Amino acid sequence: MPLLAALILLFAAATGLDWAWLTSQLPRPPLPSSPPSPSQALAVLVGRSAEIAAEPQLSARERNRLALRESAGTLLYWLQGRM
C-alpha cells in the first residue's frame, strides 16, 4: 500500500495532476464498524435465549442472613455517600 501510494504520487507529480485526481485514485480503507456487543456474539454462538428469574429455596436462617447482608451493604453505601 505505501509503495502504491508513492508510485501514484510520483506519477501525479510528473504529469502535473491535481490533488483531487490523486485522492480519487488512492484506495480508501474500509470504514471501521463497531464490534458486536457481547450479547450479540453469544447469540451467534449459542442461539437466542430468554432470561428467566430464579428464586432459590432458602431456609429461614439463610433468608435472615441475606437480609442482614443487604441491610449492611445499604448502610455502608449510605455512609460512603454513594446513595
Residue 80 has pLDDT above 70, yes or no: yes
Per the CB < 8 A criterion, the answer to whether 62 and 48 are in contact is no
Which residues are CB-neighbours of 9 under 8 A, at least 6 positions away?
Answer: 22
Closest C-alpha to 40, from 48, 28, 32: 48
pTM of the model: 0.36
Residue 33 confidence (pLDDT) above 80: no
Instruction: Return all residues near 77 (Cβ < 8 A) that are at least 6 apart.
Output: 83
Which pLDDT band holds residue 22 (cuts at 50, 70, 90)? low
pLDDT at 4 over 80: no
Higher-pLDDT residue of 31, 28: 28
Residue 28: the pLDDT is 73
